[in-house]
């Protein structure tokens, strides 16, 4: 979607609304799985996150004098933040992060379709920096009966697959357990099979560019094979790819049509770089997860990649014409 000068055209509201609806639909099964795995607190935590994001957008629109019609983008932002959080995350923290995502990362740039950075990725980084102990403490999946709606309760915590890799170990869970949601982790990321089904749905509906999740996984795999964090080859690689927020971010955050490149070659470079950065942040970063931070970094590169590949294409065509 480019003009003759190479500048991207504004995304049409009709097409963007359809994309938002498809993303919302794809998030619903993850929410159901989170409630099934962790109990009713998962639903209440998601509602708080969504409510704070919607309230932030309504307030900002009022202050900016914009039309205050309802749209799905703050709902999606709130749901993504909830899915990337442990079910025990305090309600006030996720509410603050959701409010920040909309009020500080989306609306100051003009609102829908104009934000250069993914709001949910910024909200995740805020929670990780301000409350790392809460952000990376995961209750056991089978312990959901002990997770109260309010208060701490007697909750059994266990190390996530990403945390074990950080220590140079691999999870004892089988590949079947990983695919069907046995290991602990962020409440919307534990079931790999469901995440892959969501990816297929978004690509089939053309709500996500297929190049991005595919080459993101290629980049992650290449970096993980070159710099393994545990003995072995296949099982450490599978543990790296299917642990934590990595797959979720590649499907729901990197593919955001507003903050990702618009050209096919740009998308490939963007996704591949994001994969390498994700593994690098896991190796050298302060936290066990790195994908949301990598999303923010490559968001900043997206316009430059589009311009670079547009200039490269024009140069090649010019040389071919002269030839």
- The DSSP result for 277-320, as a single string, is HHHHHHHHSSSS--HHHHHHHHHHHHHHHHHHHHHHHHHHHHHH
User: Percentage of residues in the chain with pLDDT exceeding 70?
Assistant: 87
Q: How confident is the model at residue 10 (pLDDT cuts 50, 70, 90)?
A: very low
Query: Does the pLDDT value for residue 56 go beyond 50?
Result: yes
The answer to whether residue 5 is domain-embedded is: no
Query: Does the pLDDT value for residue 59 go beyond 70?
Result: yes
- Phi, psi (5° rounding) for residue 256? -50, 115
Residue 255 near residue 217 (C-beta atoms within 8 A)? no
The answer to whether residue 2 is domain-embedded is: no
pLDDT per position as a tens digit, 98-155:
999 999 999 998 888 889 999 999 999 999 999 999 999 888 766 555 677 776 667 7
The answer to whether residue 249 is domain-embedded is: yes
The whole-number pLDDT of residue 279 equals 93
Give whichever of 5-14, 144-153, 239-248, 311-320 has the largest mean pLDDT: 239-248
CB atoms within 10 A of CB 312: 11
Rounded Cα distance, 223 and 231, in Å: 15
Residue 146 near residue 153 (C-beta atoms within 8 A)? yes
Q: Across all residues in the chain, what is the average pLDDT? A: 85
The answer to whether residue 191 is domain-embedded is: yes
pLDDT per position as a tens digit, 14-39:
467 889 999 999 999 999 999 988 88
Q: Please provide the distance, in angstroms rounded to a whole number, between the alpha carbons at the two ends of the chain.
A: 29
Count of the separate structural domains present in the chain = 1
As given in the structure block, the two tokens for residue 87 are 């079910």
The whole-number pLDDT of residue 234 equals 79
The answer to whether residue 254 is domain-embedded is: yes
The whole-number pLDDT of residue 240 equals 84
Rounded Cα distance, 83 and 89, in Å: 11
The answer to whether residue 149 is domain-embedded is: yes
15-29, 31-45, 156-170, 300-314 — which is least confidently predicted?
156-170
Query: Does the pLDDT value for residue 156 go beyond 80?
Result: no
CB atoms within 10 A of CB 181: 19
The whole-number pLDDT of residue 182 equals 66
The whole-number pLDDT of residue 5 equals 43
Domain that includes residue 206, residue range: 13-322
Query: Does the pLDDT value for residue 232 go beyond 80?
Result: no
CA dist 5 → 9, 92, 301 (Å): 10, 47, 20
> C-alpha angle with apex 290: 287 to 291, nearest 5 degrees?
155
| Selected residue with higher pLDDT from 248 and 171 | 248
The answer to whether residue 6 is domain-embedded is: no
The answer to whether residue 3 is domain-embedded is: no
CA dist 219 → 46, 125, 140, 237, 303 (Å): 31, 22, 30, 12, 20
Q: What CATH number should be reported for the domain holding residue 249? A: 1.10.3430
- Is pTM beyond 0.85? Reply is yes
């Amino acid at each position: 979607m480019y003009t003759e000068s190479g500048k991207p055209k504004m995304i049409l509201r009709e097409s963007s609304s359809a994309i938002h609806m498809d993303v919302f639909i794809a998030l619903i099964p993850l929410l159901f799985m989170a409630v099934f795995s962790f109990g009713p607190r998962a639903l209440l935590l998601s509602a708080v996150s969504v409510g704070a994001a919607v309230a932030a957008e309504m307030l900002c629109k009022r202050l900016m004098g914009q039309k205050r019609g309802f749209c799905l983008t703050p709902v999606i932002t709130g749901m993504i933040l909830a899915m990337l959080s442990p079910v025990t995350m305090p309600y006030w923290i996720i509410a603050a992060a959701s409010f920040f995502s909309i009020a500080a990362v989306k609306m100051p740039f003009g609102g829908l379709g104009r934000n250069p950075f993914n709001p949910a990725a910024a909200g995740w980084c805020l929670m990780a920096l301000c409350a790392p102990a809460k952000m990376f403490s995961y209750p056991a999946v089978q312990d959901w009966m002990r997770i109260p709606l309010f208060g701490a309760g007697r909750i059994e915590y266990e190390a996530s697959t990403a945390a074990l890799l950080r220590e140079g170990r691999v999870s004892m869970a089988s590949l079947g357990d990983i695919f069907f949601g046995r290991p602990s982790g962020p409440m919307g990321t534990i079931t790999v099979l469901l995440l892959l089904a969501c990816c297929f749905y978004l690509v089939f509906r053309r709500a996500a560019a297929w190049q991005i999740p595919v080459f993101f996984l290629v980049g992650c795999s290449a970096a993980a094979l070159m710099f393994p964090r545990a003995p072995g080859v296949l099982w450490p690689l599978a543990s790296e790819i299917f642990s934590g927020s990595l797959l979720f971010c590649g499907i729901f955050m990197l593919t955001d049509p507003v903050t990702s490149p618009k050209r096919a070659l740009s998308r490939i470079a963007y996704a591949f770089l994001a994969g390498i950065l994700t593994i690098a942040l896991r190796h050298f970063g302060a936290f066990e997860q790195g994908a949301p931070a990598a999303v923010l970094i490559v968001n900043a590169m997206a316009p430059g990649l589009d311009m670079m590949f547009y200039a490269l294409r024009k140069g090649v065509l010019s040389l071919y014409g002269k030839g």
